Amino acid sequence: MRSSRSAISELLQVSPQKFFDVIFGKEHAFSSNGAVPYLSTLPNIDELDGLYFALDSAGTRLGVVDGHASPSSGTSLLRNDGRVRLDEVHTAYRSGKTLLLTHLQNSHLGIARIARSMECELQEAGVLLRKEVGANLFLTPPNSRGFDPHYDGHDVLILQLAGAKTWKVFDQLSDVPPGMEGGRLTADQLSPASDVFDLSPGNVLYLPRGRPHAAYTTNKNSLHLTLSIIPATLTDFISEELKTNKDTDQRITEKMQSADLQLSAARVEELKKRLLRRWLANLNAIPEAAPWIAPTEKTSMTIRLANDLIVELESVPSEDKFEVLMPGASVRLGADGVEALRLLLAGKIISPSQISLGG
């Protein structure tokens, strides 16, 4: 499947303009089959035991949800050597607990590609991200609920992968505390449910930051993927400014002057660029496919660049060119670049004298 740079609007089946002008950060949205084209490349229930055994890859962690998230409780499901006690994982599930795998954007190729595509679309729309798009996978048994009613401190996209789950969405909170952390809510803090969605495979639900919700299964289990969007905020700007503002080195006295934090337009742009560089520097690479998986017939491949950054290459046969898809940008290589690239992919050691510099 071609890696799109408009994954969010495709998942929600709306135009990018409508998403960013009307929905993003304001309204919840539902798509009946936006995730269907992605299901073949995303985890399914049959793969879960294998994913549990791959916990050491790129920070993926196993947790248990029983009213609230308890990733640390997942450590009781691990042996001393870090391997999973699979029998205890199954026991936790049979007892009604939801199983949680976190940070899968760093270890699952299909998820990583969606996360990178979302980041590209957000950046092209001018949204500066604080951190990478995160991905958590939830397996909930029948007649169970994972989290208590709560709100998230960031926007989320929920992709239903298998089974079914009912989501109750409540009115937006009038006062959402700052920060990325969400919070549990009691019954008297909730309005009557404004919408109820029965999610089945291929359905997508978008919830903006601060939108209370609760989800539960009926007579079917549920496997869903949650993708988190965490834009940079004014707090990040101020924090970045404080790191280089000499006024903040003043020693605290009764007569000290307050720090001057007035930001000019030029300074704001500089801080944006600095935050963008930091985000790109911390971005995890797309994981490479396992070497025992036979390659399929397609015109794309992944290669590792400097600093362990993985990019996708897509050939353009009719033009004899390559398009390099990177987080937040793409580069089209002309004939000269392709000539060098083909030699590198063939394992050749080259110097500038071996390629044409006419372009």
Q: How high is the pLDDT of residue 148?
A: 80
Given a cut of 70, the residues of the chain with pLDDT beneath it are 1-5, 53-59, 67-76, 81-82, 177-180, 182-183, 185-186, 246-261, 284-359
How would you write the chain as a 3-class SS string? CCCCCCHHHHHHCCCHHHHHHHHCCCCCEEECCCCHHHHHHCCCHHHHHHHHCCCCCCCCEEEEECECEEHHHHHHHECCCCCECHHHHHHHHHCCCEEEEECHHHCCHHHHHHHHHHHHHHHHCCCCECCCCEEEEEEECCCCECECCEECCCEEEEEEEEECEEEEECCCCCCCCCCCCCEECCHHHCCCCCEEEEECCCCEEEECCCCCEEEECCCCCEEEEEEEECECCHHHHHHHHHHHCHHHHCCCCCCCCCCCCCCCHHHHHHHHHHHHHHHHHHCCCCCCCCCCCCCCCCCEEEEECHHHCEEEEEEECCCCEEEEEECCEEEEECHHHHHHHHHHHCCCCCCHHHCCCCC
Both tokens of 240, joined, read: 């970045």
Q: How high is the pLDDT of residue 196?
A: 92
pLDDT digits (tens, 9 = 90+) for 335-346: 666 666 666 666
Q: How high is the pLDDT of residue 16?
A: 94
Q: How far apart are CA 131 and CA 61, in angstroms?
A: 18
Q: How far apart are CA 197 and CA 145, in angstroms?
A: 15
Q: How high is the pLDDT of residue 297?
A: 45
| Model pTM score | 0.74
Q: How high is the pLDDT of residue 358?
A: 42
pLDDT digits (tens, 9 = 90+) for 267-321: 888 888 888 887 777 776 666 655 444 444 445 556 555 555 556 666 665 566 6
Q: How high is the pLDDT of residue 268?
A: 82
Q: How high is the pLDDT of residue 333?
A: 67
Both tokens of 249, joined, read: 């080195």
